[in-house]
Amino acid sequence: MSETASKLLSASSIIQSAKVKLKTVVDDVGRFNDVDGSEENIHGFDAAAVDGDDTLFGYAGTDENGNHVIGGGFLDVERSEGGLKGVEVLTANGEIEYDGNGEIIYLEGEANGVEFDFGPFLTDQVNLTVFGKATGNVGIGQDRAGAYGTLSVMEITFANGEPSANNNNDIGVTAGLALGIGFGLNLVYGDPDGDGIRNIGFEGAYGPVSGGFTSEWLGRQVVELDNTAIAAYNDIAETAADVTSGAASSVINAAAGGVKSLTGTIPGIPWG
């Protein structure tokens, strides 16, 4: 093999190795802490080599739900053990959600100066921001709906632990106090532990005070109400079809189709 061919082969090997490393950083599932689910359509960079650590990072793209996301910053570290569970330094992220017609229905954003997460702390979670924080959302999203915003220089937030898929009756309580301002109210209906039961409640802020409450018991009641509404619709449609020998079934289907699922009208919420 000639010297030129050898150099070309070596250069090709180096380029291929670089491509593999770049792909690993960009496409790994769970590469970026603030992106949920698959990151197949997320592109960016991250200097950290450990899952749970984002260092000098940035990303943008579409998440697994079809929402546009963007974020970046200096440091975002997450740990599952007790004690100091997370640190964020100069980070920001945002999300845009769409309905089935491609119209924007929800906007959300957050920016952090220096933030620490501690837990468990007396069996609970404590979040401490010591150098600025801003949060905001507006619209009807996949896990909350409303208008909400906060801006603070310092902030401390308490939460009674984290939701668990091993418990089908999670209750969440949060309370916060800030050197800053906040105003707004959200209806919350997300499923943070992924057990199929949504945690329903609210979160609000007024002036320096914020707080919220969620319950999986409420989520179960909504699902049962939804199932009852569907069953009642089916019974009415079948009875009418029998009585009229099917002549009125198409009219009933058209009229009642909009209320077939009482709670299914909330965008992006698979209640069934």
Q: Give residue-wise pLDDT tens across range 52-82.
A: 789 999 999 999 888 999 999 999 998 766 6
Residue 46 has pLDDT above 80, yes or no: yes
pLDDT per position as a tens digit, 204-263:
999 999 999 998 888 888 878 877 877 777 777 777 666 665 555 565 565 555 555 545
Amino acid present at 226: D
Res 105: pLDDT: 95
Span 136-193, pLDDT tens digits: 999 999 999 999 999 999 999 988 766 665 666 678 889 999 999 999 999 999 887 7
pLDDT greater than 50 at residue 16: no
Q: What is the 3-state secondary structure (H, E, C) of 88-103?
A: EEEEEEEEEEECCCCC
Tell me what pLDDT residue 20 has: 42
Give the sign of the dihedral formed by CA 39, CA 45, CA 47, CA 53: negative
End-to-end CA distance of the chain: 66
- pTM score, whole prediction: 0.73
Residue 14 has pLDDT above 60, yes or no: no
Neighbours of 205 (CB within 10 A): 23
Q: Calculate Rg over the CA atoms of the chain.
A: 24
Nearest to 186 by CA among 157, 210, 165: 210
- Which value, to the nearest 10 degrees, does the dihedral of the CA atoms of residues 137, 142, 143, 146 take? 40
Kindly tell me the burial class for residue 15, based on how many C-beta atoms sit within 10 Å of its own C-beta (0-12, 13-18, 19 or more): exposed
Token output for 111: 């920016």
Other Cβ atoms less than 10 A from the Cβ of 129: the count is: 22
Longest dimension (CA), the chain: 90
Higher confidence at residue 231 or residue 112? Answer: 112
pLDDT at 125: 76
Cα torsion through 63, 143, 207, 118, rounded to 10:
-70
Banded model confidence at residue 18, pLDDT cuts 50, 70, 90: very low
Beta strands in 63-143 (DSSP E): 68-78, 84-98, 104-121, 124-129, 133-140
How many whole angstroms separate alpha carbon 132 and alpha carbon 251? Answer: 58
